[in-house]
Amino acid sequence: MAADVGGTHVRVGLIRAGGSDGGTIEILSYRKYRCGDHPSLSAILSDFGSHHPQVAHCVIATAGYPLADGSVISANLPWPLSASRIRDDLGFQAVHLVNDFEAVAHAAAHIDGSQVLQLTGPAQAPRGPTLVVGPGTGLGAALWIPVGERSVVLATEAGQAALAAGNELEMAVLQQMLRNRSHVSIEHGALSGPGLLNLYNALCAVRGATPVHATPDAVSAAACDGSDPLAVQTLELFCGILGSTIGDMALLYGVQGGIYLAGGILPKLGQFLIGSTFVERFLNKGPMAKALQRIPVKLVEHGQLGVIGAASWYLEKLATQASQHKQQMQ
């Protein structure tokens, strides 16, 4: 069983490894749950498991910081998450935890051309460090690094870095946010669902207007249909900041193999993103623009990436352990 646990939704899949090396992934069953409708992750996994044969292993992809005792610290989950508690509650032989965007990065090898929207750069890139990043309830980012026939994934907390302003309006909005807190993160200030709403409210304050939208979905909907100029300007700010931030990440992490944009927000905003300043801001890095022009940036529209990635991470972990055991026996 593989689960992708976000602040708003949990996606669960029953997974079977296929192929001669066990590296291919087949999703036998898949279901999406709303977190707020259930008292715990154990309850969600129990409901999913009640419709399927008992499985021995469960891998959970989730945002947050894992502790040595198997629990996770996260500001975005609606209830505590503990691997040992889930194992005991549901009788799994083992429960494994992996960072959510580390899991999504492992899914990169399973993405095909029909599942992406090209935003900029060449269609193909050399094999190299690949960035997966996306705003949802929070901002996730991970780097996939090929090492021979295997790979290493660097999970990050890039969303907690300080939000940087790129023009006068963004500076004014950031100053407005700094009135209430000493640190405005990229995630809190813009690039997440709550961040989009915070961005809208701050822009309204800067413009001297009264906010009329109470949810991120309302802001994005009003922006996409053009019914509210302030919502449109908010989403334009969002896309510009997204482009600038991802350009920074590409340079900081030495990205060469491409950038995949995932997360719960962006797939709904594809056409708005194409018409925004996203690409202009992504490339606006002085002499480094030529380097960034060589990096493909693609919007991923596959809704099961977290589940596939969690399963892929687990299968690669098993393969590595088997290889190490074989070497020790020789």
Tell me whether residue 51 is in a domain. yes
Specify whether 264 is located in the same domain as 126. yes
Specify whether 139 is located in the same domain as 77. no
Tell me whether residue 132 is in a domain. yes
Specify whether 20 is located in the same domain as 91. yes
Query: 163: which DSSP letter?
Result: P
Tell me whether residue 321 is in a domain. no
Q: Which residues contact 107 (CB under 8 A, 6 or more apart)?
A: 302, 305, 306, 308, 309, 312
pTM of the model: 0.80
| pLDDT at residue 2, rounded to an integer | 95
Tell me whether residue 316 is in a domain. no
Specify whether 142 is located in the same domain as 281. yes
CA 130-132-137 angle, to 5 degrees, is 170
Tell me whether residue 326 is in a domain. no
Tell me whether residue 312 is in a domain. no
Specify whether 136 is located in the same domain as 92. no
Specify whether 88 is located in the same domain as 180. no
Tell me whether residue 308 is in a domain. no
Specify whether 58 is located in the same domain as 21. yes
What's the CATH number where 62 sits?
3.30.420.40
The mean pLDDT of 129-150, rounded to a whole number, is 87
User: Would residue 225 be called left, alpha or beta, if left means φ above 0 and alpha means ψ between -120 and 50 degrees?
Assistant: alpha
CA distance 277 to 19: 43
Tell me whether residue 217 is in a domain. yes
Specify whether 149 is located in the same domain as 272. yes
Specify whether 78 is located in the same domain as 160. no
| pLDDT at residue 20, rounded to an integer | 47
| pLDDT at residue 112, rounded to an integer | 67
- Is the pLDDT confidence value at 21 over 60? no
- Residue 192 and residue 136 in contact, taking contact as beta carbons nearer than 8 Å: yes
| pLDDT at residue 232, rounded to an integer | 98
> Residue 43 is part of which domain span?
2-100
The mean pLDDT of 276-294, rounded to a whole number, is 97
pLDDT tens digits, one per residue of 188-235? 999 999 999 999 999 999 999 999 999 999 999 999 999 999 999 999
Specify whether 230 is located in the same domain as 154. yes
The pLDDT-based confidence of 106 (bands split at 50, 70, 90) is confident
Specify whether 128 is located in the same domain as 201. yes
pLDDT tens digits, one per residue of 140-199? 888 989 888 777 888 888 999 999 999 999 999 999 999 999 999 999 999 999 999 999
The mean pLDDT of 85-91, rounded to a whole number, is 93
Domain total in the chain:
2
- Is the pLDDT confidence value at 116 over 60? yes
The pLDDT-based confidence of 272 (bands split at 50, 70, 90) is very high
What's the CATH number where 144 sits?
3.40.367.20
The pLDDT-based confidence of 274 (bands split at 50, 70, 90) is very high
